[in-house]
């Protein structure tokens, strides 16, 4: 019986590999964080996520945020967010950048994280990947992306329990990854 390679999960990090043209194991997730938050703070991303999920849940074409290509791009951004989260989860707190402890900034409010998750974002990353593995999160993102720009509802494809859990979990993940960036001193706009 053959054994599964130790790093087999890296094959699911295709969005990072394509964008940065390197093996995902060689990518420092902290260098990707500015790209994730370059154009919008977490509140705007959470609002866009809500519109994205609403369009995916509707039985008619409901994408009103520009062209369908923007929904596809947003699906890729979510995929990259989850991949970066997975790398941060796997690497734990072993990052070399110094943590700075500050009070919540205006860009971080309202904050869906608990006080413990706010202080230690790794706690939420552990919960996020305990709820579902990387592969399942990517399948959920793909289902929501396709249905956001179609005449079908993602509710026809996925079990009912996955629908609200997806939106809530990814919303918290946006803030968690932003919080990691702040704690690690990553320069964000």
Tens-binned pLDDT, residue by residue, of the chain (189 aa)? 445 445 556 666 767 766 767 776 677 889 888 988 888 889 999 999 999 999 999 999 999 999 999 999 999 999 999 999 999 998 875 544 444 455 555 556 678 998 899 999 999 999 999 999 999 999 999 999 999 999 999 999 888 888 889 999 999 999 999 999 989 988 876
Backbone angles phi, psi at 187, to 5 degrees: -70, 120
Helices 162-183 and 121-131 cross at an angle (nearest 10°) of 150
Indicate the pTM of the whole model: 0.85
Structure tokens given for 153: 């509802």
Domain boundaries, the chain: 41-183
CA–CA separation, 66 and 83 (whole Å):
26
Structure tokens given for 4: 């599964």
């Amino acid at each position: 019986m053959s054994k599964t390679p130790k790093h087999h999960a890296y094959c699911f990090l295709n969005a990072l590999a394509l964008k940065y043209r390197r093996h995902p194991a060689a990518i420092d997730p902290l260098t990707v964080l500015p790209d994730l938050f370059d154009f919008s703070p977490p509140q705007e991303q959470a609002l866009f996520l809500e519109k994205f999920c609403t369009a995916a849940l509707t039985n008619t074409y409901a994408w009103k945020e520009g062209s369908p290509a923007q929904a596809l791009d947003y699906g890729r951004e979510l995929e990259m967010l989850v991949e970066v989260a997975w790398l941060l989860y796997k690497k734990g707190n072993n990052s070399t950048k110094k943590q700075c402890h500050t009070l919540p900034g205006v860009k971080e409010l309202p904050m869906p994280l608990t006080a413990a998750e706010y202080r230690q974002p790794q706690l939420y990353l552990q919960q996020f990947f305990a709820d579902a593995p990387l592969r399942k999160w990517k399948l959920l993102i793909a289902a929501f992306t396709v249905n956001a720009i179609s005449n079908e509802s993602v509710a026809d494809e996925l079990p009912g329990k996955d629908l609200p859990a997806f939106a809530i979990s990814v919303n918290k993940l946006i803030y968690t990854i932003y919080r990691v960036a702040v704690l690690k001193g990553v320069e964000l706009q």
